[in-house]
Amino acid sequence: ATQPLIAPSILSADFAHLADEADAVAGADWLHVDVMDAHFVPNLTLGLPVVQSLLNATDIPLDCHLMIEDPGRWAPPYAEAGAHNVTFHAEATDDPIAVARDIRAAGAKAGLSVKPGTPIDPYLEILKEFDTLLVMSVEPGFGGQSFIPEVLEKARAVRKLVDSGELRLLVEIDGGINTDTVEAAAEAGVDCFVAGSAVYGAFDPAAAVRALRAQAAG
């Protein structure tokens, strides 16, 4: 893997002060924004209007993680708005290639996410349509859950294809990343580390970002 990227998740931030919370992680590579629709996952967070406001409030590239049904309908507007990455779930659509192409055509990087129980093999063929693979290391829906180490097998498999030149994309991990788990993920070949509670639960969130990055770099 190259220089590790750290993406604090604002799911663990104070939603009434999102601009300040973005400033609190100055130096982060991406700001991870969890969009949930109370259908794909049993939780409801925020949507396009909040993302549009955040885009005006911070220079940190937004990494939008859409945990929603019907991404073909809802994902492209996030790209049009100016999100850096727009990631949707493999489990949420029958036509992930079409969604990825629409996201890219609208000017963003396209990401595919898989839940912990979803195998990666059926998707290896289509990963060339994507810029990131987001491996979920908790069940999507909530911050503060425990890391599921078994998912690292998927990161390793895709890392191998990237290293051999068969694929070109970033491997991202999301869920339960903290000072106890980040090294195992880095060893599995993860490029980008999402961290919610480990960053926003810290006394100094910017220092927590730096510490995770240093640990991930080994």
Annotated binding site: 9, 32, 34, 65, 141-144, 174-176, 196-197
By the rule CB under 6 A, 34 interacts with ligand DX5: yes
Three-class DSSP category at 43: coil
Contact of 32 with 7, CB cutoff 8 Å: yes
Distance, CA of 29 to CA of 145 (rounded, Å): 23
Of 86, 174, 205, 209, the one binding Zn ion (CB under 5 A) is 174
**Catalytic site includes residue 59:** no
- ∠ CA 33-37-41, rounded to 5°: 90
* Number of residues lying near ligand DX5 (CB under 6 A): 22
Three-class DSSP category at 99: helix
Q: How far is the CB of 25 from ligand DX5 (least distance, A)?
A: 13
**Catalytic site includes residue 95:** no
Contact of 26 with 17, CB cutoff 8 Å: no
**Which CB atom, from 175 or from 189, has the smaller least distance to ligand DX5?**
175
Interacting residues with ligand DX5 (CB under 6 A): 9, 11-12, 32, 34, 65, 138, 140-145, 174-177, 194-198
Interacting residues with Zn ion (CB under 5 A): 34, 65, 174
